[in-house]
Amino acid sequence: MTAFDIVTQQLVNGIVLGSFYALVALGYTMVFGVVKLLNFAHGELYMAGGFVGFLALSFLAPVLGAGWFGVAVSMIFAMLAVGFLGVVIERVAYAPMLSAPRLSILITALAVSLVLQNGVLTLTKGQYTPFGSALGFGGINIGAQFISYNQMILVGTAGLLMLGLELFVSRTQYGRAMRAVSVDKDMCRLMGINVNKVISTAFVIGSVLAGVVGVLWSARVGKVDPLMGFQPVLKAFVASVVGGLGSIPGAILGGYILGTMEILLQGLLPSNLAPYRDAFVFILLIVLLLFRPNGLLGSTDKEKI
C-alpha cells in the first residue's frame, strides 16, 4: 500500500471511532445543554447499556441469533432500561439539587457514578464478560480501502441518531422548550413550561443514547466490563469542550475531530510513541483551546461556575 492508501484507511477508521465519540458526546451534551450539569454518571449509563444488551442477547440469541438482528433487538431493551435508569437517577439524585450550588450537584453526579460503577463491580467481581455477538468480518473493498459491514452499520446508525436528534431539538415543540429552558428556567416557568418535565426528557434522551452506543460498541469489541465507561466519557467530555459545551453540532464535530486525530496519530507515530497517542491528542486539543477557549461552535456568553 502507498502512503496515501495508509492515510486514507486511517481516515476511514477515524470516522468510525469519531462516530462512537460523537454519540457519547451527544448524550453528555444533551444534559449539560439543559441543566448545565457535567453528568459524570453518563459513562456508567453507557456501561449499563452494554450489560443490559449482553443480558438481552444472552436470552434472545437462541431465537433471533447473535448477528445484527439479535443485537438490534437487544439494543431496544437497553434503550428502555437505561432510559428508565436515567429518569430514576434524575428524580432521586439530581432534581432535589437543581437549586443547590453548582459544586453540590457536581459532587452528587460524581457520587452517582461511583455508586453505579462499584455496584456493577460487586455483581461481576470485576471480570470482563464476553458479549456473545457474532457479527462476522465481512465488508467491501473501495480501491485499496477495506470497509467492514460492522463499520458501516456503526457509522450509519450514528448518522441517523445525530440527524434525528438535531431535527428533534430544532423542529419540535419539546426541542424548542429545551432550548428555552437552557437559557432561562425562571422565565420558562412564568410562560407555563413544565421545566421539570423538560429536564427529565433531556435525561431520558441522553440516557437512551448512552444505552445505544453501549450496545453498539460492546457488540463490536465483543466484551463488557464494569470500568468500560470511564474512558469514553472522558473522551466525550473532551469532544464536547472542543466542539463547544451545550452545542449539539459542536459535540458531533468534536467527536469526529477527536476520533480522527487519535487514529491518525496511532498510525503515523513511531511504534515507541504510539502508546502515548492520548497524550499527544490532548496536547493538540489544549493548543486548539488556547485559540478557541469556548470551543469551535461554543457560545461566547460569560457564565459563573
Strand 129-130 vs strand 223-224: parallel, antiparallel, or unpaired?
A: antiparallel
Determine the pLDDT at residue 116.
92
Mean pLDDT of the chain: 85
pLDDT in tens, 145-190: 778 888 888 889 889 988 888 888 888 888 888 888 888 888 888 8
pLDDT digits (tens, 9 = 90+) for 216-273: 888 888 889 888 888 888 888 888 888 887 788 888 898 898 888 888 877 777 777 7
- 304 pLDDT band, cuts 50/70/90, is very low
Q: Which residue type occupies 203?
A: F
pLDDT in tens, 181-229: 888 888 888 888 888 888 888 889 999 999 999 998 888 888 898 888 8
pLDDT for residue 3 is more than 80 = no
C-alpha cell at 299: 457560545
Q: How many residues are given for the chain?
A: 305
The alpha carbon dihedral of 183, 185, 187, 191 has a sign of positive
Q: Does the structure show a pLDDT above 50 at 305?
A: no
